[in-house]
Amino acid sequence: MSQPTSSRSSLAEALSGWPPPVLDPHGPFSNTVTSLTWVLIALVTLIFALVCAALWVALYGSDKLRARLGGEGVVKWFGLIVPAGILFLLLAWGMTLFAGMTAIQGDELRMRVSGNIYWWRVSYLDAAGKEIHADANELHIPVGQPVVIDMVSEDVIHSFWVPKLGGKMDMIPGRTNRLKLQADKAGVYGGQCAEFCGGAHSLMGFVVVAHEPADWQRWREARLARQQPQSAPAPVNDEVLRGRQLFGDMGCAACHRIAGTAAQGVSGPDLTHIGSRQSLGAGILPNNRGTLIGWIGDSQSIKPNNRMPAYRSLQAAELHALAAYMESLK
Ligand code: CUA
Cα 315 to middle of ligand 1, angstroms? 33
pLDDT at 72: 73
pLDDT at 9: 61
Task: Report the half-sphere exposure of 324 (CA within 13 A, side-chain side).
Answer: 19
Q: Rounded mean pLDDT of the chain?
A: 90
Does residue 55 or residue 315 have the better pLDDT?
Answer: 315
Cα 296 to middle of ligand 1, angstroms? 22
Return the H-helix or E-strand segment holding 112.
strand 109-116
**Measured between alpha carbons, how far is 314 from 230 in angstroms, rounded to an integer?**
28
The CATH number given to whatever domain includes residue 178 is: 2.60.40.420
Residue 313 lies in a domain: yes
Confidence band, pLDDT 50/70/90 cuts, at residue 54: confident
Q: Which of 261, 297, 258, 260 is nearest to 275 (CA)?
A: 258
Domain final residue, candidates 99, 124, 140:
99
Residues with CB under 6 A from ligand 1: 115, 118, 158, 193, 195-197, 201, 204
Q: Is the dihedral of CA 101, 106, 111, 112 positive or negative?
A: positive
Cα 158 to middle of ligand 1, angstroms? 4
Confidence band, pLDDT 50/70/90 cuts, at residue 82: confident
244 and 162, same domain (yes or no): no
Confidence band, pLDDT 50/70/90 cuts, at residue 4: very low
Nearest atom within ligand 1 for CA of residue 202: 2
Note the pTM of the prediction, 2 decimals. Answer: 0.87
pLDDT reading at 2 higher than 50:
no
237 and 297, same domain (yes or no): yes
Q: Phi and psi at residue 29, in whole multiples of 5°?
A: -75, -35
Nearest atom within ligand 1 for CA of residue 204: 1
DSSP string, 35-89: HHHHHHHHHHHHHHHHHHHHHHHHHH--HHHHHHH-SHHHHHIIIIIHHHHHHHH
Residue 14 lies in a domain: no
Nearest atom within ligand 1 for CA of residue 171: 1
187 and 260, same domain (yes or no): no
Nearest atom within ligand 1 for CA of residue 118: 1
Cα 152 to middle of ligand 1, angstroms? 12
pLDDT tens, position by position, 259-289: 999 999 999 999 999 999 999 999 999 999 9
Cα 115 to middle of ligand 1, angstroms? 8
Cα 120 to middle of ligand 1, angstroms? 10
Domain ranges, residue 114: 109-216
Q: Please tell me the total count of domains within the chain.
A: 3
Residue 12 lies in a domain: no
Confidence band, pLDDT 50/70/90 cuts, at residue 298: very high
Cα 41 to middle of ligand 1, angstroms? 27
Q: Which of 269, 114, 118 is nearest to 196 (CA)?
A: 118
Nearest atom within ligand 1 for CA of residue 195: 2
Structural contact between residues 291 and 285, judged by C-beta atoms closer than 8 angstroms: yes
pLDDT tens, position by position, 138-169: 999 999 999 999 999 999 999 999 999 988 99
Domain final residue, candidates 171, 189, 216:
216
Residue range 172-184: mean pLDDT, rounded: 95
Confidence band, pLDDT 50/70/90 cuts, at residue 127: confident
pLDDT at 77: 83
Residue 273 lies in a domain: yes
**Residue 28: cis peptide before it, omega within 30 degrees of 0:** no
Cα 84 to middle of ligand 1, angstroms? 35
pLDDT at 6: 46
**Measured between alpha carbons, how far is 258 from 244 in angstroms, rounded to an integer?**
11
Nearest atom within ligand 1 for CA of residue 158: 1
134 and 178, same domain (yes or no): yes
Cα 116 to middle of ligand 1, angstroms? 8
pLDDT at 3: 47
For ligand 1, atom 1, the nearest C-alpha belongs to 158
93 and 121, same domain (yes or no): no
Provide, rounded to the nearest whole percent, the portion of the chain with pLDDT above 90: 67
Domain final residue, candidates 216, 240, 266:
216
Between the CA of residue 301 and those of 54, 141, 221, 269, 310, what are the distances in Å?
55, 32, 37, 19, 8
Nearest atom within ligand 1 for CA of residue 201: 2
pLDDT at 8: 54
**∠ at Cα 82 (76, 88), nearest 5°?**
130
pLDDT reading at 118 higher than 80:
yes
Residue 9 lies in a domain: no
123 and 40, same domain (yes or no): no
Range of lowest pLDDT (1-5, 80-84, 117-121, 298-302): 1-5
212 and 135, same domain (yes or no): yes
